Homo-oligomer: A and B are copies of this chain.
Amino acid sequence: MSSSSNEYVVKVKAGSEIMAQIMADQSGKSSESNVATSKKIRKKRSKKQQGASVSNKGTTSSGKRVGIREIARQAGVSVATVSMVLNNNPKITEATRQKVNKVIDRVGYRPNRLAQSLSGRYTRVISILMPTLRHAMADPYFGELISGICDRAARLGHKVMLEHAKPDFIRERRHIELFERRFVDGVLCIGFNDRHAFMKDFIENDHPMVVVNNMFPQWGLDHVVCDYRSGAEQVMTYLQQLGHKKIGLVHGAPEVFTAREIIEVYKRRMTTVTGGFDTSWMADGRFTEEHGAEATKKLLEAHPDMTAIFASNDKMAMGAIHYANRHGRSVPSDLSIVGFDDIQYTAFVNPTLTTVHLPLYELGVLACERLVERIRGKSERVREVLPTHLVLRESTSLAASYAPGVG
Contact = CB atoms under 8 A, between A and B. Distances in A.
Contacts of A135: 143-144, 147, 344, 361
Contacts of A37: 376
Given A4-B352, A22-B362, A234 B146 contact: no
A321 interface: yes
Counting every copy of the chain, the complex holds 2
A238 B31 CA distance: 45
A276 interface: no
Contacts of A369: 22
Nearest to A53: B206
A98 interface: no
Interface residues of A, number: 133
Given A114-B182, A181-B110, A159 B161 contact: yes
Given A35-B88, A150-B162, A123 B114 contact: yes
B36 A90 contact: yes
B234 A377 contact: no
A16 interface: yes
A112 B182 contact: yes
Contacts of A123: 114
A253 to B, nearest CB: 19
Contacts of A80: none
Contacts of A159: 161, 163, 183
A357 B136 CA distance: 19
Contact of A138 (B117, B136, B343): B343
Contact of A33 (B157, B177, B366): B157
A139 interface: yes
Contact of A10 (B15, B117, B146, B234): B234
A50 to B, nearest CB: 11
Nearest to A362: B22
Contact of A348 (B46, B163, B289): B289
A155 interface: yes
B15 A387 contact: yes
A391 interface: yes
18 contacts: A1-B393, A1-B394, A8-B392, A10-B389, A19-B359, A22-B369, A38-B122, A42-B122, A42-B376, A110-B181, A113-B182, A113-B183, A135-B144, A136-B147, A137-B137, A289-B345, A322-B348, A322-B350
- 6 smallest beta-carbon distances between A and B, as pairs: A138-B143, A41-B377, A13-B387, A137-B143, A114-B118, A137-B147
Interface of A: 1-4, 7-13, 15-16, 18-19, 22-23, 25, 28, 30-33, 35-38, 41-42, 44-46, 48-49, 52-53, 56, 58, 65, 87-90, 110-115, 117-118, 121-123, 125, 134-140, 142-144, 146-147, 150-151, 154-157, 159-164, 166, 177, 180-183, 205-206, 227, 230, 233-234, 238, 289, 293, 315, 318-319, 321-322, 325, 332, 343-345, 347-352, 357, 359, 361-362, 365-366, 369, 376-379, 384, 386-394, 396-397
Given A10-B389, A318-B345, 14 more contacts: A4-B393, A7-B392, A12-B390, A18-B366, A22-B362, A22-B369, A65-B180, A110-B180, A111-B181, A112-B118, A115-B118, A125-B161, A289-B347, A349-B349
